[in-house]
Amino acid sequence: MAVHASGPAPAQLAKNLRRAALASVVGGTLAAALIYWRAVNRLPEPDLAADRGYAFALARIGGNAALHIAQFDRWFASLWHGTALAGTVAVLGLLLAALCWWLAELLGYPLPPEEAGAAGDRP
């Protein structure tokens, strides 16, 4: 009884992954442009470094690690609003495209030949 592989051939799968990479670049760029065009920037939030009382109290209670985590949290939260969201969407689209393209290239490499003997023969 012959065992047939279910699914597309590696060449077709690589072609589909490259198409997905192209769609990700185009879609991410168009979405980023639309977001940038429609974005409304809010007033900037006060910086932790500017508010010395808050920074001192936070550092005293939680240490410098808590202060750095609070600064990172504010920076990360700022990526999801206004024009910064457009840049975030563009970068995520490019990262997805790079991942798809890399996987497509991996499918192009031949597998090493199988060794003689069954897999169960190995110690």
Domain membership of residue 118 (yes or no) is no
Q: What is the pLDDT of residues 96-108, one digit of tens each?
A: 999 999 999 998 8
Domain membership of residue 55 (yes or no) is yes
Cα(56)–Cα(61) distance, integer angstroms:
9
Domain membership of residue 63 (yes or no) is yes
Range of the domain at 58: 11-39+47-109
The domain tally of the chain equals 1
Domain membership of residue 105 (yes or no) is yes
CA distances to 92, 121, 122 from 14, in Å: 21, 33, 33
Cα(45)–Cα(54) distance, integer angstroms:
14
Q: What is the pLDDT of residues 27-41, one digit of tens each?
A: 999 999 999 999 887
| Locus of tokens 């169960």 | 120
pLDDT at 116 (0 to 100): 54
Cα torsion through 103, 109, 114, 115, rounded to 10: -110
Residue 56, helix vs strand vs coil: helix
Contact 24, 99 (CB under 8 A): no
Domain membership of residue 121 (yes or no) is no
| Residue 65 identity (one-letter amino acid) | A
pLDDT at 1 (0 to 100): 41
Domain membership of residue 61 (yes or no) is yes
Domain membership of residue 123 (yes or no) is no
- Answer yes or no: pTM beyond 0.95: no
